[in-house]
Amino acid sequence: MLSKAFAQNSQFKPFWGFLMMCDVYNRAMFKGKRDHIVLAGEPEIRVAIKRSSRSRRLSLRVSHLDGRVTLTAPNGIAQRALDSFALEKADWIRGHVAKRSVTEQVAFDGHVHIEGISCLISKGSGRSVVRDENTLYVPGSSEVTAAKVQGYLKTLARDRLVAASDFYASQVGRPYGKITLRDTRSRWGSCSHEGHLMYSWRLVMAPADVLNYVAAHEVAHLVEMNHSSAFWAVVEKLMPDYATHRLWLRQNGSSLHRYRFSD
C-alpha cells in the first residue's frame, strides 16, 4: 500500500521509475542463490561462490579445463557486494570464458593431436584405424568416426602408459598394482596408497615426453606418497628435465580437452 501511494505521488514518480528500473536490471543480471550468481546474456554464465575463512579479498578464477567460473570471497561479505563485483568484472569474465569454450568435434577432415603431432583424420578402408605419419585413416561411416578415433587413442594411451610405468617402476624398484585410464578433468594422474595408478588417456595427445613425465611423477609416489623435496628428488632422478614437461602441461594441458568425441 505504501509503495503504491509512493508511486502515485507525482513528486516521487521519476524517482520511483528509477527504482523500478534498477530492480528490473538487478533481477535480469543476477538470478542466483547465495551459492552462485548467474550473469544474464548470451550465453548465461554461472559464477560459483566459494566462501573461505582464509581468503582476504575477492578473486575470480576461470578453470583452464572446463571454463567454470569461481568467485572466492572472505566469510562475511554481503551478497550485494558479491553481485556488484561480478557485474563490474562481467566483461573480463566473458572474455576469459570465451577463450576456454573453444571445442573441436572429432570428424573426417578435422585434426587430432597424437603424441604431440597434429594428424588429419581421413577416410580409411579395412576394419582398423591406421596411422601413417601425419594422417589417421579411419574406416566406417562418419557416424562412428569419433568413437573409433577415441578407441584408437585409448588403446595407444594404455600401451604407452603401461610401458612408461613399467620402466620407471623398475628404476625405483617398486611394483605398482593396476593401471586405470579415465577421462579426468581435475588431474592427469594419481597413485593410491595401494599402489594403483590412474592416468588420463588424453595424455597420449601430448608430446611423448609429457606423458612420460606424468608416469614418472606417479611412479615416484610409490616411493614418496607426498610432494616433499624427497619426492621431487625421485622424480628428478627418473627424469632430469621433468620441469620442462611439467611446464608444458601447465601451459598447454587444457588444449587436450578441446576435442569432443560425442555430441
pLDDT in tens, 117-174: 999 999 999 999 999 989 999 999 999 999 999 999 999 999 999 999 999 999 999 9
pTM of the model: 0.68
Q: Is 46 left (phi over 0), alpha (psi -120 to 50) or beta?
A: beta
Cis peptide before 240, with omega less than 30 degrees from 0? no
Nearest to 181 by CA among 161, 205, 206: 161
Residues sharing a CB contact under 8 Å with residue 256, sequence separation 6 or more, in sequence order: 113, 200, 202, 203, 205, 206
Q: In whole angstroms, what is the distance from residue 251 CA to residue 248 CA?
A: 5
Select the more confidently predicted residue: 33 or 233: 233
Class of domain 153-260: alpha beta
Contact 204, 211 (CB under 8 A): yes
Q: Is the pLDDT of residue 245 over 60?
A: yes
pLDDT of residue 263: 60
Question: Domain spans of the chain?
Answer: 31-100, 153-260
Select the more confidently predicted residue: 222 or 27: 222
- Summarised one tens digit per residue, pLDDT across range 77-132 is 888 999 999 999 998 888 877 776 567 899 999 999 999 999 999 999 999 999 99
**Residues of the chain with pLDDT > 90: what percent?**
61
Q: In whole angstroms, what is the distance from residue 149 CA to residue 155 CA?
A: 10
Q: Is the pLDDT of residue 178 over 90?
A: yes
Secondary structure class of 45 (helix, strand, coil): strand
pLDDT of residue 17: 45
Q: In whole angstroms, what is the distance from residue 176 CA to residue 9 CA?
A: 80
Q: Is the pLDDT of residue 6 over 50?
A: no
Q: In whole angstroms, what is the distance from residue 181 CA to residue 177 CA?
A: 13
Q: Tell me the pairing of strands 117-123 and 130-132.
A: unpaired
Residues sharing a CB contact under 8 Å with residue 35, sequence separation 6 or more, in sequence order: 48, 49
